[in-house]
Amino acid sequence: MWLPKDERKLLVHYYMELSGVESRTRFYISALEKLLKGPNPRERAKMASKILERRNLIPFFHNHGDALTVQLSLEGYDLGRKYSSWFAHSGLLVAEYRHHWIWLIGSFVAGIAGTLLVQWLSKIIM
């Protein structure tokens, strides 16, 4: 599953701070908004956390003003682990967009570049 940028950042942060599926930790919105750059990070952090809860990746136990008590679900833990590793993260991206039109364009450009490279090398060698 490929998540939007704000949700990905928060899920990776939750994964890094929590030691496992059974642990719970209190997070503060003021600390979470420092992860997100751009306009209105406080509202974006709240919205991304609510969307993660709706996707059943994290359950909230206490939601009091600035403090959130969060525990990762099993799916959230697995997805957080995948997003925290660059290699697994790139595999998720390719798996999600494997039928995307950008691959067609990229293959076309790579074919042209390969042809030009072979022609150039043949002129140099001969």
Which pLDDT score, from 0 to 100, does residue 58 have? 86
Q: Tell me: the pLDDT tens digits for 93-113?
A: 676 666 777 777 888 999 999
Which pLDDT score, from 0 to 100, does residue 116 have? 95
Tell whether the model's pLDDT for residue 15 goes beyond 90: no
Tally of residues, the chain? 126
Rounded percentage of the chain residues whose pLDDT exceeds 90: 13
- CA pair distance 118, 126, nearest whole angstrom: 12
Whole-number Cα distances in Å, 105 to 2, 35, 62, 92, 112: 22, 34, 48, 20, 11
**Identity of the residue numbered 51:** I
- CA pair distance 105, 99, nearest whole angstrom: 12
Which pLDDT score, from 0 to 100, does residue 59 have? 85
Residue range 30-46: mean pLDDT, rounded = 86
Which pLDDT score, from 0 to 100, does residue 18 have? 84
Residue range 15-29: mean pLDDT, rounded = 80
Distance of CA 73 to the CA centre of its chain: 17
Which pLDDT score, from 0 to 100, does residue 42 have? 87
- Residues 6 or more apart whose CB falls under 8 angstroms from that of 71 comprise 18, 21, 22, 23, 24, 25, 58, 59, 61
Q: Tell me: the pLDDT tens digits for 63-94?
A: 777 788 888 888 888 888 888 877 766 776 67
Tell whether the model's pLDDT for residue 119 goes beyond 90: yes
| CATH code for the domain defined by 5-84 | 1.10.10.10
Residue range 42-50: mean pLDDT, rounded = 88
Is 16:85 a contact under the CB 8 Å cutoff? no
- CA pair distance 40, 115, nearest whole angstrom: 48
